[in-house]
Structure formats: structure tokens, C-alpha cells
Amino acid sequence: MSSTFKVPIRNLFCLLSYVNEIPEFVDHLSDIDEDLITYDFLAHRFKQEVQQLLKRGLVRNYVANSEETSYIAGRMMMNESVQLLAERKPVVVCEKDEYSSNILLNQIMKTTLRQLVKNQHIQEKTRRECFILWEQLPTVYEIPLNKESFTRLKFSRHNAYYKQMIHIALLLHELKLLSHKSGNWSLFTVDLDEGEVNRLFEKFLFHFYQREQETYTVHSERLQWNLQGNRSLLPTMLTDVSLTHRYKPEKVIIDAKFYRHLFQRHFDRATFHSHNLYQIFTYVMHQPAFKRVRGILIYPGNQAGELHEIYSWDERMAIEIVSLDLNASWREIYNALLALLREKEQ
């Protein structure tokens, strides 16, 4: 069984907002006390968004519905109808478009309301109010929610006012999925396994630096081995985040690695994890000779105290090892990540 790691929901919410490319929602809640941002808080905000949508009126669209009928209305479905006629039934299958509220946007809304009603971690008052809202959607069907349900959505001027509700629904869905992977969570923390933290944080770093700074271009870089021979047998070198300076021959390569214990121990001697250093060192050594390169290993966790070690190869290349406390306030995390880039510019 893999070990788990506690992440405050307020910070997990921020990470997921960047990963899902909706960081503006973090800005929207910037004036709210971070300690108040819990799963219950998000459920309450979702309920408020639904109330506003119901007051304004549900968005509708044409939906194709097929049914057996004794007279032709709409488009006759030949394949389905032939089978019925062969059985000597006096009916055909017709498909017609109906202007309906039973569309994906509203289906996600109703399904999320149902999930909140059944969630025992949410205040009873919020659950009861969600149930009342759920009852106001009798013509909308519930659907199995997954990531594809959200990626299929297309926004336009016609339905743009649904964005806030859908963004919160997506975050609630992601939080629910993450919590269920370990089966242990509360309103304030979620237990994640180490692999999940690592994958989530890698994606977060990429989107964070892509949005929050303009000095560097951000990409994931596939490096070529400086070796002769059969390269098809060599492992792929793919960076988590490569930041190339827009105006200077400088680059920052960032790799995120999560471990419950920051150091490995050998004969009672604590050292950094060797394979992580080998990896970032290899990335740095495969950069063009004219560029100044920094390789940064970031260890997210709950480590007490700040760690920032710098190891220089020469004037052109250096490797840095940095810890980042995910239990800190979001503003501290935000500033610490931007400070990594500013440090080189000073």
C-alpha cells in the first residue's frame, strides 16, 4: 500500500485551478480568508451559482430525441424502423429535434447537485438546499460524470454565464476523485498518494509559470542524447518545465519530485535522492554551450523549514535543490515559485 500525504484543500483547490486552466477563479477568491476555502465552502459557492442560473433561466438547445410512433414526425430512422415493420408492428422510429433544457451543461449541474446532497462531509443545511435546487430540474437527466464530460463543453456568448458554475463543478469533481483514491479525507485536508502528488504538481508548475510570468517562454522539452550509436535503445529525456529567456541566452529547467522523506539514508548518512540529481544533471549537461543554464529540483511536501541548496558546475551551469511547503499559505507558495526566477535576474 502506497503511503499518503495530506494536502490542505485550499491549496489543492489552487493547484487544480491551474491544472484545469481556470486560474482566474483563484484570483476571484483572493479576497477570502484562505482558511475558509474548504470543500464545504466550494459546495456553498456552487449552490449560489446554481441559484443565480435558475433565476436567470436555464440555457436550452435543440436535442435529438428518437421514439416509436404510429405516424411519421421528423426524420424516420430506417434501420430501426425496418426491424419493427418486419415484425409486423404498425409503428416506425422517428427522430426529431426538441428545444430542451436537457443538455450537457444542465446535466452536469444536476449531477453535481445530487453528489453534494449525498456527501456526508457537507453541512446538512447546504445539502438540504442543494436537494431543493435538484428538485427544480425535473426535465434534466443525470449522467455519469467524468473528465470527458467537461472537455466536451463549448462556451459561447449564448452560455458564457455558465462558466463559473462549471468551473466549480469541475473542481468539486476533481477533489472528489482525488479523495476517493485514498479513501480518507476531511473538509480541510485530502490524503493523496505520492504518485498523485507528483503528477499533479508537475502539471501545476507548467501552467503556473505559463500564466504568472512573461520573461520566459514555457514548454516541455525533448532532449537529444549527445551520444553516437543506436539511440532507439536510449531512454527519452523529457523535461517537466523548460523556461527559455525571451531576450537573453538563459534557460531554467525545473523538475518536480515528491517524496515523503526529502533525503535518502545510507549508513546513517542523509543525502539527496541520487537518481533525481543524475536526471537534472543530465538535462543541464545537454544544453547548448552558449546558454547559461539552471537546473532546479523542487520537492513539494510538508517539510519544516526552507531548503535551497545551490551547486555550481561553472559560471554557466548550476543545479539548485529547493523545498516547497504545500502546507503554507497560497500567497507564500505563489511568491516562492516566482522568486525562483527573480533570483537569477538580480
pLDDT averaged over every residue in the chain: 82
Query: What's the pLDDT score for residue 335?
Result: 92
CATH number of the domain residue 283 falls in: 3.40.1350
Find how far residue 155's CA is from the centre of its chain: 19
Cell representation of residue 61: 438547445
Of 187, 207, 229, the residue at which a domain comes to its end is 187
Confidence of residue 71 (pLDDT cuts 50, 70, 90): low
Give yes or no: residues 90 and 48 share one domain: no
Domain annotation covers residue 269 = yes
In this predicted structure, the answer to whether residue 323 has a pLDDT above a threshold of 70 is: yes
In this predicted structure, the answer to whether residue 1 has a pLDDT above a threshold of 50 is: no
Give yes or no: residues 54 and 71 share one domain: no
Task: Give the pLDDT mean for 178-187.
Answer: 51
Cell representation of residue 18: 491551474
263 or 185: whose pLDDT is higher? 263
Give yes or no: residues 146 and 235 share one domain: no
Give yes or no: residues 213 and 290 share one domain: yes
Give yes or no: residues 242 and 179 share one domain: no
Give yes or no: residues 139 and 226 share one domain: no
Query: Residue 255 burial (CB < 10 Å; 0-12/13-18/19+)?
Result: middle
Give yes or no: residues 89 and 161 share one domain: no
Domain annotation covers residue 242 = yes
Which residue range forms the structural domain that includes residue 48? 39-59+102-187
Spatial CA neighbour of 250 closest among 209, 213, 211, 295: 295
Give yes or no: residues 202 and 341 share one domain: yes
Of 156, 187, 218, the residue at which a domain comes to its end is 187
Gap between the Cα atoms of 166 and 236, Å rounded: 37
Give yes or no: residues 244 and 315 share one domain: yes
Domain annotation covers residue 26 = no
User: Is the CB of residue 142 less than 8 Å from the CB of residue 108?
Assistant: no
Please identify which residue in the block is written with the cell numbers 425496418.
Answer: 82
Give yes or no: residues 48 and 66 share one domain: no
Domain annotation covers residue 27 = no
Give yes or no: residues 222 and 265 share one domain: yes
Of 141, 159, 187, the residue at which a domain comes to its end is 187
Highest mean pLDDT among 71-80, 85-94, 96-105: 96-105
Give me the number of domains the chain comprises: 3
In this predicted structure, the answer to whether residue 110 has a pLDDT above a threshold of 90 is: yes
Gap between the Cα atoms of 135 and 113, Å rounded: 10
Cell representation of residue 260: 515523503
Among 141-150, 194-203, 319-328, the minimum mean pLDDT is found in 194-203
Query: Residue 90 burial (CB < 10 Å; 0-12/13-18/19+)?
Result: exposed
Among 91-105, 155-169, 231-245, the minimum mean pLDDT is found in 91-105
Give yes or no: residues 52 and 148 share one domain: yes
In this predicted structure, the answer to whether residue 296 has a pLDDT above a threshold of 90 is: yes
Gap between the Cα atoms of 315 and 148, Å rounded: 48
Angle at 203 between CA 201 and CA 209, to 5 degrees: 95
In this predicted structure, the answer to whether residue 261 has a pLDDT above a threshold of 70 is: no
Domain annotation covers residue 14 = no
Query: Residue 160 burial (CB < 10 Å; 0-12/13-18/19+)?
Result: exposed
In this predicted structure, the answer to whether residue 344 has a pLDDT above a threshold of 50 is: no
